């Protein structure tokens, strides 16, 4: 496969991954598919998981990967890597994509490690009223293996499963984006040096 064709495959793949990343980040603002928690967070605070507000999926895995994806795809528009300047620039754009993917990866990892913000009550020792907090923040992700404690988050309903699913998706997507952008950096270097398709 010539470097131009490789760029095309990478560019199209990054479009899809960036879209998935943006959608996941937006969905995280609406636990239980309700808008009231986002509104309450604005008015009362502490209703949406803090890592969601970092916008790792939207900014990092989304916009910061989408812009390089456009350039990488345009570089391969003619199906050939004869455009040395374009391939050279794709190295810089891919590097920006690497930074975005790392940011998204970091935020998703933190989101999984700290768990969601929820209306929490310890069902084993009910001595206090339920409180909005991030109950698993100091668990270093150990809560992931103890599903019994998930039901202590009484509102939003199934928020732990919701956050785990979406942050896990963001984690995988960011990892794939990172690999593809690193591949494009190497591909861009070869395209810049060779300047032509192998079959030409």
pTM above 0.85, yes or no: yes
Residue 28: which of 108, 103, 135 has the closest Cα? 108
Q: Give the DSSP H/E element, type plus range, for residue 150.
A: none
Which residue, chain included where needed, has tokens 């570089």? 75
Average pLDDT value for residue range 100-119: 95
SS3 154: strand
Reply yes or no on whether the pLDDT at 64 is more than 90.
yes
Reply yes or no on whether the pLDDT at 71 is more than 50.
yes
Average pLDDT, the chain: 87
**Alpha-carbon gap, residue 41 to 31, rounded angstroms:** 12
Reply yes or no on whether the pLDDT at 196 is more than 60.
no
Percent of the chain with pLDDT over 90: 52
């Amino acid at each position: 496969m010539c470097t131009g064709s490789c760029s095309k495959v990478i560019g199209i793949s990054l479009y899809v991954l960036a879209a998935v990343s943006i959608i996941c980040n937006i969905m995280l603002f609406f636990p239980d598919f309700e808008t009231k928690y986002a509104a309450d967070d604005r008015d009362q605070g502490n209703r949406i998981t803090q890592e969601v507000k970092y916008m790792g999926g939207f900014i990092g895995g989304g916009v910061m990967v989408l812009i390089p994806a456009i350039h990488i795809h345009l570089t391969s528009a003619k199906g050939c890597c004869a455009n040395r300047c374009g391939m050279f620039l794709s190295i810089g754009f891919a590097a920006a994509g690497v930074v975005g993917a790392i940011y998204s990866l970091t935020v998703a990892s933190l989101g999984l490690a700290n768990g969601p913000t929820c209306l929490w009550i310890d069902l084993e020792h009910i001595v206090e009223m339920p409180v909005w907090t991030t109950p698993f923040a100091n668990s270093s992700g150990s809560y992931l293996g103890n599903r019994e404690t998930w039901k202590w988050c009484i509102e939003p309903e199934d928020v732990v499963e919701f956050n785990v699913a979406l942050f896990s998706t963001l984690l995988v997507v960011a990892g794939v984006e990172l690999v593809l952008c690193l591949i494009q950096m190497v591909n861009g270097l070869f395209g810049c040096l060779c300047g032509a398709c192998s079959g030409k």
